[in-house]
Amino acid sequence: MTDDLRIKPYRLDLQTPYRWSKGTQHQRAGLILRAKIDGSVGWGEAALPPHVDYPPEAFAAEARALLAGLDPGDADMLDELGLRECPARLRCGFATAVITARAAAAGRTLSQHLAPAGTVLPERIPVNELIGDADPRTCVERAREALAAGQDTVKVKCTTERELDLARVGAIRAAFPALRIRIDPNESWPLDWAADQLRAMERFEIEYCEEPLPRGTPLAEYGRLRRQTTVPIALDDSIRTVRDVELAALLGAADVLVLKAQRVGGPDRLMEVFAAAREAGLRCTVTSSLETSLGLTLGIHCAALADAPIAAAGIGTARFYAQNVGPPPPIVDGHMAVPTVPGLGFDAQAWWDAQA
Catalytic residues: 157, 260
Residues whose CB is less than 8 angstroms from the CB of residue 178 and which lie 6 or more positions away in sequence, other chains included: 152
Please answer whether residues 337 and 304 qualify as being in contact, where contact means their C-beta atoms are separated by less than 8 angstroms.
Answer: no
Taking residue 154's Cβ as centre, other Cβ atoms within 10 Å add up to 26
Torsion sign, CA atoms 158, 280, 91, 292: negative
> Which neighbouring-strand residues pair with 184?
157
Asked if 183 and 162 touch (Cβ cutoff 8 Å), the reply is: no
What residue type is 250 in one-letter code? Answer: L
Instruction: Give 299-317 as a 3 state SS string.
Output: HHHHHHCCCCCCCCEECCC
Q: Which residues sit opposite 18 in a β-bridge? A: 25
Q: What DSSP string runs through 242-287?
A: HHHHHHHHHTT--SEEEE-HHHHTSHHHHHHHHHHHHHHT-EEEEB
- Nearest 5°: the CA angle 263, 312, 154 is 95
